[in-house]
Copies of this chain bind each other. A is one copy, B any other.
Amino acid sequence: MLSNYASDEFQKYERIYEKELTKIEAGLNEVFKGMSPHSLYDPCLYAVTGGGKRIRPFMVLLSGAAAGGKYEHVFNTALSVELFHNFTLVHDDIMDNADKRRGRKTVHLKYGVSSAILSGDNLIAVAYKYLMKDVTSNHQYIFNLFTDAIIEVCEGQSLDTDFERKKNVSIDEYKLMIKKKTAILLELCCKLGSAVVGADQGTTEALGAYGHNIGMAFQIQDDLLDIFGDEKQFGKTVGRDLLEGKKTYLILKAIEKSDAKAKKMLNLFITNKGIKIDQISEFKEMYKRLGVIEDAEKEIKQYTALAFEALNSIKEAEAKNILIWLGTKLLTRNN
């Protein structure tokens, strides 16, 4: 599909993305301006200005445009989803005991756990405030979308934690978890962009399906990158999921397909809740032998195809093309 686009089209989309990114960064910098007490708002500002690709707010803008609106109609909505996303990061980092986020100290490490809890709580409310600025009709539907997404993200995070203790996790359970933990937020971005500009249900569902499927592909890609990513570009230790005993797509698929040799390795992985650093290459070999890399790549391709197919009914050509470009960019990333 993408091979039809000339590279100057790509450059044009990249420029649009960069331009909107600058506005989003500026917008996020303004959210807490003049607010007090500092003990609450400094950690809030720190949390939302730590960089990142800002994919989610950009998806809101694109979906708004794809549904016939203008970027500026959904700009506050775009900020809203980024505030929401950062609430989850701040609280997840406490739960995961994470030290660093995008190369900087995590919020709880810099400001203390209490401030991090409170800032996360506040980010939820401020996210609602920003959403409310753009909504002019259909309040019930839009606020339900947003609220259901918060609930699903909490459920997803709980399932993820449950998986740490659970010995047997199926691929279906894994997919339900990443749907709730990751895909729901991208789905929300696309649905909100569409619903806020007043698009019909069909358009909103189509864009939501794009977001959902990109989200599913994105998370499986993330599992792949953990072990096959370029360490420097990926910015994380290669194989960290294996070291931490995380039940990724690759591990669960390997368990499903395991031969005698793999079974022994995987049982030890489960029992010891992870492996040692010198075993990573052995696991890489096993993944290759069992063909789970291809399985993951196939899933990513399938979800991506579904995502792009969902856009068939969208008439706004440029926004649609940028959504395809963005999906491709995300799913061919090596970091």
Contacts from A to B (Cβ < 8 Å): 36-37, 39-40, 87, 91, 94-95, 113-115, 117-118, 120-122, 124-126, 128-129, 132, 135, 139-140, 143-144, 147-148, 150-151, 154-155, 157-159, 161-162
Contact = CB atoms under 8 A, between A and B. Distances in A.
Contacts of A154: 40, 118, 121-122, 125
Q: Is the interface of A mostly helix, strand, loop or mixed?
A: helix
A140 B135 CA distance: 8
A37 B151 contact: no
A318 B118 CA distance: 40
Contact of A157 (B87, B118, B124): B118
A39 B161 contact: yes
Nearest to A150: B125
Query: Which 3 pairs between the two chains have the least Cβ-Cβ distance?
Result: A139-B139, A125-B150, A40-B158
A330 B86 CA distance: 40
Given A37-B162, A39-B158, A139-B139, A147 B120 contact: no
Contacts of A140: 132, 135, 139
12 contacts: A39-B161, A40-B154, A87-B121, A91-B121, A94-B113, A95-B114, A118-B154, A120-B121, A121-B121, A122-B154, A129-B148, A132-B147
Given A39-B161, A124-B124, A143 B139 contact: yes
B91 A117 contact: yes
B155 A37 contact: yes
